[in-house]
C-alpha cells in the first residue's frame, strides 16, 4: 500500500468518525442561546465570505488602466442583497436542521429503537463517507487540473510583477488568465504567441511577449503545449 493510499484511508476514517460523533451529539437539546449562536454564526460566516468574494476583481476596463484590474471593489446593492439573502437562507436551514434532528430522534424513540443517537450518528457517518467517495470519483477532482497547472506557470513567470503569495498578495492573481488559457488547451489547441499576446492585452493593455522576452516566451509556449490533453473536450 502506497503512502497516498494510506493517507486517503486515514482521511476517510477520521472524517467518517468525526461525522458520526457529531451526529450522535443531540444539538437540539443545547440551551437556546447556544442553539441561536450556532445557527447565527454559520449564517454570518457564509454571508461574510460571500461578500468578500463579491469584492473580487472586475473585468478588464475599457480605458486601458491596468491598475484597476486588481484589488477589491464595493459590491453592488443587488450583490449585497443577494448575499444577505443567502445568509438568511443559511440561518433558516440551520434552524430547520435543529428541528429535524429532534424530530428524527423523537421518531426513533417512539418506534422503540434503542440508542437512537447512536443510529443517527452512524447514518451521518455513512452518508458522509458515501459523499466523499462519490466526490473522489468525479474526474474533475482527479489530479491537478489544467487550469491549476497553467496558473502555476503564470505565477512562476509573473509577467506583470504582481508577486503572488508575497506581501499578502493572493496566490491566484493570474487565475482569470489561467482559466482562459486552460479553456483553449482543453479544446486540444496549444496557444500561439499571438494568442497569448492578445489575451494579455485584454487584461493588462500590453502584450505578453515583450514582458517575458523571446527565450522565456518560447519556454512558456512549450510548457503550455505539453498540457494539451490527449482527449480534448468536445
Q: What does the pLDDT look like over 81-100, one tens digit per residue? A: 887 888 888 888 888 988 89
Residues 6+ apart with CB under 8 A from 130: none
Does the predicted TM-score (pTM) go above 0.85?
no
pLDDT for 154: 93
Q: Which of 61-65, 116-120, 136-140, 189-193 has the lowest mean pLDDT?
A: 61-65
* In the predicted structure, residue 215 carries a pLDDT above the cut 80: yes
Confidence of residue 5 (pLDDT cuts 50, 70, 90): low
Confidence (pLDDT) at 39: 85
What pLDDT, on a 0 to 100 scale, did the predictor assign at position 94?
86
Q: For residue range 141-190, what is the model confidence (pLDDT) as tens digits?
A: 444 688 999 999 999 999 988 887 777 778 888 999 999 999 999 888 89
Q: What is the pLDDT of residues 35-46, one digit of tens each?
A: 888 888 888 888
Q: Nearest to residue 101, comparing CAs of 28, 21, 41, 35?
A: 28
Amino acid at each position: 500500500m502506497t503512502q497516498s493510499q494510506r493517507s486517503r484511508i486515514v482521511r476517510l476514517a477520521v472524517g467518517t468518525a468525526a461525522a458520526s460523533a457529531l451526529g450522535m451529539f443531540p444539538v437540539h437539546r443545547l440551551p437556546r442561546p447556544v442553539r441561536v449562536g450556532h445557527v447565527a454564526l454559520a449564517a454570518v460566516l457564509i454571508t461574510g465570505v460571500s461578500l468578500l468574494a463579491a469584492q473580487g476583481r472586475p473585468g478588464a476596463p475599457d480605458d486601458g488602466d491596468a491598475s484597476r484590474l486588481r484589488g477589491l471593489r464595493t459590491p453592488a446593492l443587488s450583490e449585497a442583497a443577494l448575499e444577505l439573502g443567502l445568509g438568511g437562507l443559511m440561518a433558516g436551514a440551520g434552524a430547520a436542521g435543529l428541528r429535524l434532528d429532534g424530530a428524527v430522534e423523537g421518531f426513533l424513540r417512539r418506534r422503540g429503537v434503542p440508542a437512537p443517537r447512536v443510529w443517527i450518528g452512524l447514518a451521518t457517518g455513512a452518508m458522509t463517507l458515501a459523499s466523499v467517495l462519490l466526490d473522489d470519483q468525479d474526474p474533475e477532482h482527479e489530479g491537478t487540473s489544467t487550469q491549476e497547472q497553467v496558473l502555476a506557470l503564470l505565477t512562476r513567470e509573473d509577467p506583470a510583477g504582481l508577486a503572488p503569495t508575497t506581501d499578502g498578495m493572493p496566490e491566484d492573481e493570474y487565475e482569470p488568465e489561467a482559466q482562459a488559457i486552460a479553456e483553449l488547451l482543453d479544446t486540444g489547441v496549444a496557444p500561439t504567441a499571438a494568442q497569448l499576446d492578445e489575451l494579455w492585452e485584454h487584461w493588462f493593455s500590453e502584450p505578453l511577449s515583450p514582458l517575458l522576452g523571446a527565450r522565456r516566451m518560447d519556454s512558456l509556449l512549450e510548457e503550455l503545449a505539453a498540457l494539451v490533453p490527449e482527449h480534448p473536450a468536445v
